[in-house]
Amino acid sequence: MGSRPLEDTELVERARHGDVAAYETLVRRYQALAVRAAYVIAGRAEAEDAAQEAFVKAYRALDRFRPGAPFRPWLLRIVTNEARNRVRSSRRREALALRAVAVSGDAAPSPEAAAEELEARRELLESVERLPPADREVIAFRYFMGLSEAEMAEVLAVPAGTVKSRLSRAMTRLRTEMVATHE
Amino acid sequence: MSEDRLEERLRDLGSHLDAPDATALPDGVRQRLQEEDRPRRRRGLAALLAAALAVAIVGGGALAFLLIPGVEIRRVPTPPTAPAPGAPERLDLGRRVSLAEARDAVDINVLIPQRLGSPDDVFVGRRPDGGRVTLVYEPDSDLPEDENTGVGMLVTLFRGSTEPAFVQKEAGPETSVRPITVEGSPGMWIEGAPHAVMYVDGDGRLFSDSLRLAGNVLIWQVGEVTLRLESRLPLDPSLEVAASMA
């Protein structure tokens, strides 16, 4: 894990004592991850606002943060709650989309291969989008954001075994959806 | 497709998602924190004031105070009594509905404590204006049965801007009432001897038939919504449940 957790701990401690610059360092460190988490849960239109709100709420809640605890999963839990609440209150969620990519250079695949890859990604994304929110969430946390199962357990506030079983159930449902996409 | 191959394809998909750019975020957060500087000081003042009032109340007399919109806590010389509880139906929580129906029926954002998951029962009450939702959690290994309610936890949400006070609590001398901060918002923690919960109608009259006792209670606000947790849990786990509703 290197020195990062220690460094987070110190920044959190300074922020708790009113050092806004220290908090800003934490915001910069986790901004991309927070926006990505909000994006996979609530969609593009809500992502930035939800992440910003979560950082503001986390700052306000710093006096309740357990000293020495990892900041990252604690923050992600606040982001997750914020994003979920936004989906709930708007009662709809914008679907995830693929980024438009310009492919060029020597390593670029042929146009046919690129089109095939794009189509395969689009189909997989459609299958993920058809999953129930809880399944989509665990798949997104694990594979789109690269969280470990242990970290997911902290973010979702469930035992590690529960993450494993939820993930396994989500992957089974995803396979079923993928077959349906092809039919 | 093998499990490894599917995992690899999902990671590849993740790297091609159209997630928004986060570079403007630190500026936005800084601006928000600066804007809140003044209200933050006001909140600090409100907390001080509440602390002073709480001391005054513990000190004696039938003083009443109103800190959280829609909630009034009244100190009484003798502890209140109430009929024994039974099934959730007897707690006068309103109409039993599904969570989706509750969300349609009320004018507030129905937050769920992620810590506890989906409620076992959901009730909707008409009072106050905007509606009231109560989530019922049955007792389990983490949530002891509250002898006052007969359930593990009651989570009540209503719009807090109600006047006059919608919820009144009568606390005897053995009940401690103290102001605390819940997720950055002002809140109250009430524990010790059971205290009475009464609902008040539009004319300010108490509903005696809905008189019942409550155990440990955490009350706080999220935006315009006042939230109340009632259970046997002590303060820290109650705060964790509250944090999961942020």
Which residues of A are less than 8 Å from B18 in CB distance?
44, 96-100
> Is A104 contained in some domain?
no
Q: Using CA atoms, how far apart are residues B66 and A59, in angstroms rounded to an integer?
A: 27
Stretch among A103-107, B41-45, B167-171 having the lowest mean pLDDT = B41-45
Q: Render pLDDT for B64-122 as a digit per residue (tens, 0 to 9).
A: 333 455 555 555 555 444 444 444 555 667 888 999 889 888 888 898 998 888 898 89
Whether residue A152 lies within 8 A of chain B, CB to CB, comes out as no
A137 and A69 in one domain? no
When scoring A52, A89, A148, A162 by the number of chain B Cβ atoms within 10 A, the one with the most, hence best to mutate, is A52
Say which CATH number the domain at A27 has: 1.10.1740.10
Distance from CA of A81 to the nearest CA of B (A): 6
Say which CATH number the domain at A172 has: 1.10.10.10
Average pLDDT over every residue of B214-232? 80
CB B110, CB B228: distance < 8 Å: no
Distance from CA of B7 to the nearest CA of A (A): 7
Task: State the SS3 of chain A.
Answer: CCCHHHHHHHHHHHHHCCCHHHHHHHHHHHHHHHHHHHHHHHCHHHHHHHHHHHHHHHHHCHHHCCCCCCHHHHHHHHHHHHHHHHHHHHCCCCCCCECCCCCCCCCCCCHHHHHHHHHHHHHHHHHHHCCCHHHHHHHHHHHHCCCCHHHHHHHHCCCHHHHHHHHHHHHHHHHHHHHHHHC
In chain B, % of residues over pLDDT 90: 11
Smallest Cβ–Cβ distance between A44 and the set B20, B22, B25 belongs to B20
A126 and A66 in one domain? no
A151 and A118 in one domain? yes
The better pLDDT of the pair B51, A10 is held by A10
When scoring A11, A25, A31, A142 by the number of chain B Cβ atoms within 10 A, the one with the most, hence best to mutate, is A31
Q: In this model, does residue B200 exceed pLDDT 80?
A: no
Q: Do B17 and A64 touch (CB under 8 A)?
A: no
The better pLDDT of the pair B33, A142 is held by A142
pLDDT of residue B214: 62
Number of independent structural domains in chain A: 2
- Model confidence, pTM: 0.52
Q: In this model, does residue B169 exceed pLDDT 80?
A: no
Q: Do A124 and B11 touch (CB under 8 A)?
A: no
> Is A95 contained in some domain?
no
Beta bridge partners of B167: B71, B199
pLDDT tier at B191, thresholds 50, 70, 90: confident
A83 and A8 in one domain? yes
The better pLDDT of the pair B164, B154 is held by B154
| Nearest-by-CA chain B residue for A34 | B22
A9 and A75 in one domain? yes
pLDDT of residue B91: 60
Please give the backbone phi and psi of residue B146, each rounded to the nearest 5 degrees, phi first. Answer: -90, 115
Average pLDDT over every residue of B13-28? 88
Q: Do A84 and B7 touch (CB under 8 A)?
A: no
> Is A97 contained in some domain?
no
pLDDT of residue B189: 82
The better pLDDT of the pair B139, A126 is held by A126
Structure tokens at A115: 């089109």
Starting at the earlier edge strand, list the strands of the sheet with B175-182: B95-97, B121-125, B132-137, B153-159, B225-231, B216-222, B185-192, B175-182
> Is A49 contained in some domain?
yes
When scoring B2, B17, B31, B41 by the number of chain A Cβ atoms within 10 A, the one with the most, hence best to mutate, is B17
pLDDT tens for chain A, residues 1 to 183: 444 444 898 899 888 888 888 898 999 999 999 999 999 999 998 999 999 999 999 998 888 888 888 899 999 999 999 999 888 877 778 888 887 765 555 556 677 888 888 899 999 999 999 999 999 999 999 999 999 999 999 998 889 999 999 999 999 999 999 988 766
pLDDT tier at B170, thresholds 50, 70, 90: low
> Is A125 contained in some domain?
yes
CB B218, CB B238: distance < 8 Å: yes
List Cβ<8 Å contacts ≥24 apart for A113-121: A120/B9, A121/B9, A121/B12, A121/B13, A121/B16
User: How many CB atoms neighbour CB B164 within 10 A?
Assistant: 14
Q: Do B22 and A51 touch (CB under 8 A)?
A: yes
> Is A161 contained in some domain?
yes
Mean pLDDT, chain B, rounded, equals 69
A13 and A74 in one domain? yes
Which residues of A are less than 8 Å from B17 in CB distance?
39-40, 96-99, 125, 144
> Is A16 contained in some domain?
yes
User: How many CB atoms neighbour CB A164 within 10 A?
Assistant: 14
| Nearest-by-CA chain A residue for B111 | A85
Whether residue A34 lies within 8 A of chain B, CB to CB, comes out as yes
Average pLDDT over every residue of B196-218? 50
A63 and A11 in one domain? yes
Smallest Cβ–Cβ distance between A56 and the set B16, B33, B114 belongs to B33
pLDDT tier at B218, thresholds 50, 70, 90: confident
Whether residue A11 lies within 8 A of chain B, CB to CB, comes out as no
Cα Rg of chain B (Å, integer): 21
A50 and A116 in one domain? no
Whether residue A146 lies within 8 A of chain B, CB to CB, comes out as yes
Please, what sign has the CA dihedral across residues B161, B162, B165, B169?
negative
Whether residue A115 lies within 8 A of chain B, CB to CB, comes out as no
Q: Which domain holds residue A150?
A: 111-182
Distance from CA of B152 to the nearest CA of A (A): 19
Size of interface A-B (CB pairs under 8 A): 134
A82 and A9 in one domain? yes
A177 and A127 in one domain? yes
Distance from CA of A3 to the nearest CA of B (A): 23
The better pLDDT of the pair B177, A116 is held by A116
- Whether omega before A109 lies within 30 degrees of 0, making that bond cis, reads no
A84 and A8 in one domain? yes
> Is A42 contained in some domain?
yes
A119 and A69 in one domain? no
CA A103 distance to own-chain centroid = 26
| Nearest-by-CA chain B residue for A147 | B11
